[in-house]
Amino acid sequence: MDQTIPEVIRTVPLQYYIFFASALFAIGVTGVLVRRNAIIIFMCVELMLNAVNILLTAFSAYRADPNGQIFVFFIMAVAAAEVSVGLGIIVMIYRNFQTTDVNLLSRLKW
């Protein structure tokens, strides 16, 4: 297995990728739970998706299997669709309420 990993990939240990992706994911989760601005929340969700993409790419490269990179492509396509729909929703909320504070959206219940 070690012979199939390119030398360029072996220069950075897999643990570094795992630590970096875990830190990015933790920052994203913290941002989603703490912030109230809808745009910041969407940015944090994208940060979490990118952390998963980094892990999938790293594991794919270390196993010399392109399946992880194919999943990354699909995750990026879904993330682009999510951003376009999410930003459309945020624009409509801003037009109606003149704010992007998600705590004020409880008025949408009734």
Q: How far is CA 21 from CA 1, 5, 11, 34, 46, in A?
A: 24, 20, 17, 20, 13
| pLDDT for residue 31 | 94
Q: From the DSSP assignment, how many helices (H) and strands (E) are in the chain?
A: 4, 0
Domain ranges of the chain: 8-102
**Spatial contact of 57 and 68, defined as CB atoms under 8 Å apart:** yes
Label residue 109 by pLDDT band (50, 70, 90): low
Residue 37, pLDDT > 60, answer yes
State whether CATH 1.10.287.3510 applies to domain 8-102. yes
Label residue 20 by pLDDT band (50, 70, 90): very high
Residue 2, pLDDT > 70, answer no
Segment 41-53, tens digit of pLDDT: 989 999 999 999 9
Cβ atoms within 10 A of the Cβ of 12, count?
Answer: 12
Q: How far is CA 94 from CA 11, 44, 90, in A?
A: 47, 19, 6
Strand runs (DSSP E) across 1-110, as ranges?
none
- Three-state SS for 35? coil
The reply to whether the predicted model has a pTM over 0.85 is no
Q: What is the mean pLDDT of residues 18-42?
A: 93
Residue 108, pLDDT > 70, answer no
| pLDDT for residue 27 | 97
